[in-house]
A and B are shown apart, each in its own frame.
Chain A
Amino acid sequence: MMLPTPPTSAARSPLILIVEDSFMTARRLARMIEDVGATVLGPAPSVQKALELLDSQHCDAALLDINLGNETVQRVAERLENEGCPYVFVSGYASPKTLLDDPRFKAKRLISKPVEPLVLREVVKGFLNRL
């Protein structure tokens, strides 16, 4: 699961970045994404790890946990925004202030934790349709 599939053809499975600091939750999200036929980039537990992955690999979409312990995923979201890469936020916060108050991220979809497999399936389908 940790090994990204190199982009070989148009028919390749989409590569989806996961940024999530909880080991077990990251495993679960990765499994769900693999279950709908996509490939996982990461998962990355921190902003630094995520940015390193993005440097080495182009991703098609991303699932971003907002709160990563003592940092937020903001810098990753900014980078994806600049690259025009679709992404959704994942958070345990009912109304995470800091990040979603930012007008750039206001319109972004937020999936609340714990993530429902059916919800995630719809989101990933949405990503696939945009490819």
Chain B
Amino acid sequence: MPMQHVHSSGEAASTSIGDFFLRLFDTDFTPRGVCVDWRPEIVWLHVLSDGAVALAYYSIPIALLYYVRRRRNQAFGWMFVMFALFILACGTTHVMSIIAFWKPLYRLDGVIKAITGVLSIATAVTLWPLIPKALAIPSPTDLREANAALEKAKDDLEHRVQERTSELSAANDKLRAEITRREAVEQTLRQSEDRFRIALASAPITVFNQDRDLRYTWFNGPPTDLAEAQMVGKTDAELFDETTAARLTEIKSRVLADGQGQHAEIAISGGGAETRFVEFRAEPLRDYRGNIVGITGVKMDITERKRAEQHRAFLLAELDHRVKNNLSVVLALAEESVRSSTSMEQFSQAFIGRVRALAKTHAALAAARWQGVRLRNLVDLILETYTIGAAAGVPARASIAGEAVQLSPKAASALCMTLNELLTNAVKYGAFSTPEGRVSVTWNITPMPAGPPLLRILWTETGGPLVRPPARRGLGSQLIEDGIAYELAGMVRTDYHPLGVVCTIEVPLNLQNTSRGRFEPSTSVNQSKDAP
């Protein structure tokens, strides 16, 4: 602050305020230079010092204003403006001190000082309450630290986000792999199910489930089996007869009790259907915890197989029977032929011829699959040698004609034996012993008033040598006559007519002698005519 000098010019001091401002620029006082006797060192010291202070005081507000203008959002910007004005005023008082060395403008100087004082007080007064608020504003260091902390927090966060992201991404990859795996499993399952469904649809197999009370819960079978709607909710006792249900329930209960699969062949009857044979398998049905909650059953209809097995067993037994019977007959023929023969030649002729006849019967029966033989085929076979010429233009020596009749294997065998003996006799002594002789075999069927129709076969020889009745009844005659009577309850009469033997064979066409008896249900006695 510049030093003030008290002057002695007293009348000016007693003037009014108006007068004071009018004389604001009057220099009616002693300049300061006078007070220091214009000593240059004192004058320059003051002038330079005040100048320096003023210069500094003028520059500071500019800097402050510049700062406030540039930093628009500076808190308490108006405070900076007040500082700027206050400092500017202080600077001006120093300028006035310099001027006062030469021009003593003490009125103006005083006014400026007064303004400065007012500004100073105002600034000071407004400054104090501002301090706590200013202190609350974080300093740049605080901000830097806070910023650094924030920065670090941000880095941490980013790091954690990155970690989390990679974790999520790994989890995502895992999930995706799992989904892919499950899709593959699902596809395999679907394909597997398709395969089994197709297999099931084309097989005579029934698959079903039953719960612990053995009520059907699911049922899938071929169209020939019962429908699912008939089964679901029911038990075996409601569906099948007592025996079948008891057997099924026993097996299934065992599966439920010990968890072991069971396998059995069962005859199923009931429900109005014929008895069927099934191969039956039951396995325990488990939930995902392994508890047995019912059974899964599979049954396959093996009725056809069973019947085929039975038929095969029957055929085998039948074949065995026939072979042994035939061997028994061959043995008997051999023994009887030995007894009735006087020479080896006679024996071999008789025996071999008879075994041949058996072989022919067998051939005819086998050709007819043991289901009966047509008489026509049998006669053809026996007389084959004497009819074969017809094909080559040579007149046949045997003629055959008769109604269609189907003979049982037993009747065929007996007739074959008889016809063979007749042929042997014809070759040895009768029509076939000369080139001109002829044999005709004809037959017809006569309905009888009581009993089965009668088959009558006529063996007629013509054109042979003169016939003489045999001196004694040999084995051949016995075979011709007694065999038919014994085995077929028939009758054979041999008439030794001088012009040719006529043999009448009568066979009742009863169940035993026709093929109706055992194998063929309907077409045993054929009503159509055989071609002659």
Which chain A residues have a beta carbon within 8 Å of chain B's beta carbons?
21-28, 31, 43, 45-46, 67, 69-70, 91-97, 112-115
Contact = CB atoms under 8 A, between A and B. Distances in A.
Contact of B328 (A43, A92, A93): A92
A24 B333 contact: yes
B487 A45 contact: yes
Contact of A113 (B324, B335, B410, B482): B324
B190 interface: no
Interface string B484-503: 00110100000000000000
Contact of A24 (B329, B511, B518): B329
B327 A113 contact: yes
A113 B331 CA distance: 11
B325 A113 contact: yes
A112 B321 CA distance: 10
B335 A28 contact: yes
Contacts of A22: 325, 328-329, 332, 487
B483 interface: yes
Interface in B309-325: 317, 320-325
26 contacts: A22-B328, A22-B332, A23-B414, A23-B482, A23-B487, A25-B325, A25-B332, A26-B486, A31-B335, A45-B487, A46-B489, A69-B512, A70-B408, A70-B511, A92-B321, A93-B320, A93-B324, A95-B317, A96-B317, A97-B317, A112-B324, A113-B324, A113-B325, A114-B328, A114-B331, A115-B328
B483 A23 contact: yes
Contacts of B322: 92
A66 to B, nearest CB: 9
B228 interface: no
B362 to A, nearest CB: 15
Contacts of B324: 92-93, 112-114
A42 to B, nearest CB: 10
Contact of A93 (B317, B336, B410, B482): B317
Interface string B324-355: 11011101110110000000000000000000
Nearest to A115: B328
B77 interface: no
Interface of B: 317, 320-325, 327-329, 331-333, 335-336, 408, 410, 414, 479, 482-483, 486-487, 489, 511-512, 517-518
Please name the 8 residue pairs, one residue from A and one from B, whose CB atoms are nearest each other, closest first: A92-B324, A28-B332, A24-B332, A114-B328, A92-B321, A23-B486, A113-B324, A23-B483
A92 B325 contact: yes
A116 B336 CA distance: 16
B399 to A, nearest CB: 29
A92 B320 contact: yes
A91 B327 CA distance: 12
B325 A69 contact: no
Given A93-B321, A113-B327, A114-B327, 10 more contacts: A23-B487, A24-B332, A24-B483, A28-B336, A70-B512, A92-B324, A93-B317, A96-B317, A113-B325, A114-B328
Most A CB atoms within 10 A — which of B414, B486, B511, B512?
B486
A70 B518 contact: yes
Contacts of A97: 317
Nearest to B323: A92
Contacts of B335: 28, 31
A24 B332 CA distance: 6
A91 to B, nearest CB: 8
Nearest to A97: B317
Contacts of B512: 69-70
Contacts of A92: 320-325, 328
A101 to B, nearest CB: 13
Most A CB atoms within 10 A — which of B333, B410, B414, B487?
B487
B511 A27 contact: no
Most A CB atoms within 10 A — which of B317, B328, B410?
B328
A22 B324 CA distance: 12
Contacts of A31: 335
Contacts of B333: 24
Nearest to B484: A23
A86 to B, nearest CB: 23
A94 B332 contact: no
Contacts of A45: 486-487, 489
A31 B328 CA distance: 14
A113 B336 contact: no
B389 to A, nearest CB: 33
B410 A24 contact: no
Contacts of B320: 92-94
Nearest to B486: A23
Most A CB atoms within 10 A — which of B332, B410, B487, B489?
B332
A94 B336 contact: no
Nearest to B354: A24
